[in-house]
Amino acid sequence: MKMGLAVLLLGVIGSAHAEQPLSNQQIVDHYCANANTQMQMDACSAQALGDADRQLNATYQAVLKKWAAYPSMSAKLRQAQRNWLTYRDADIAARFAIADQDKAAGTAGTAYPTAHNLYQAGLEFERVARLCEYLRGDAYGERDNAPCADLVAHPAVVPHQP
């Protein structure tokens, strides 16, 4: 019993040292460093959101593939992802509630699309980092320190044990 708890605690502690998602400033620096106009900011923020969407989808699919031999876990992962998507959408709606009213009234500022894209991208990059922990197997005593992109490209499938 104590050994199982120790392995679980090590997994949680190990998670604290995992790859960190890009901060909001890092997203701006990475995608929009050369943007000088609002049109360029809109374009680079859309690229950031597109990359975040692709990474989120690929990581989620890799997690499902890795844990496919465990139907109860896969079902809970699917439910967790659905719940996270609901949270993401609600969080964005709350963050931009006033701006959305202004947009509907035709008085939203020109930075609205950029702000919206970058905020959503940040949330999605955070979720990717969380999903990577499932690929690393931290909660189950594994610890694969490969970059998340490598784990997504080549997910190790966990065989079912009777």
Residue 14 is encoded by which pair of tokens? 């190990």
Residue-level pLDDT at 133: 92
Of 123, 99, 95, 104, the closest CA to residue 22 belongs to 123
The model's pLDDT over 63-83, given as tens digits with 9 standing for 90+, comes to 999 999 999 999 999 999 999
Of 93, 84, 35, 37, the closest CA to residue 59 belongs to 84
Coil, strand or helix: which one is 160? coil
Whether 57 maps to a domain, the answer reads yes
Whether 160 maps to a domain, the answer reads no
The domain tally of the chain equals: 1
The model's pLDDT over 101-157, given as tens digits with 9 standing for 90+, comes to 777 666 767 888 899 999 999 999 999 999 999 999 876 777 788 899 999 999 888
Whether 95 maps to a domain, the answer reads yes
pLDDT at 6 over 50: no
pLDDT band at 162; cut points 50, 70, 90: low
pLDDT at 85 over 90: yes
Distance CA 15, CA 17 (A): 5
* Residue-wise DSSP of 100-149: HHHHHHT---TTHHHHHHHHHHHHHHHHHHHHHHHHHTGGGT----S-HH
Residue-level pLDDT at 100: 65
pLDDT band at 37; cut points 50, 70, 90: very high
Whether 30 maps to a domain, the answer reads yes
Residue-level pLDDT at 143: 79
pLDDT at 14 over 90: no
Residue-level pLDDT at 15: 41
Q: Mean pLDDT over all residues of the chain?
A: 85
SS3 content of the chain, % helix, strand, coil (to 5): 75, 0, 25
What domain range includes position 39? 2-153
Element (H, E) at 48: helix 38-66
Whether 161 maps to a domain, the answer reads no
Backbone angles phi, psi at 48, to 5 degrees: -60, -45
Burial tier of 98 (Cβ tally within 10 Å: 0-12, 13-18, 19+): exposed
pLDDT at 1 over 50: no
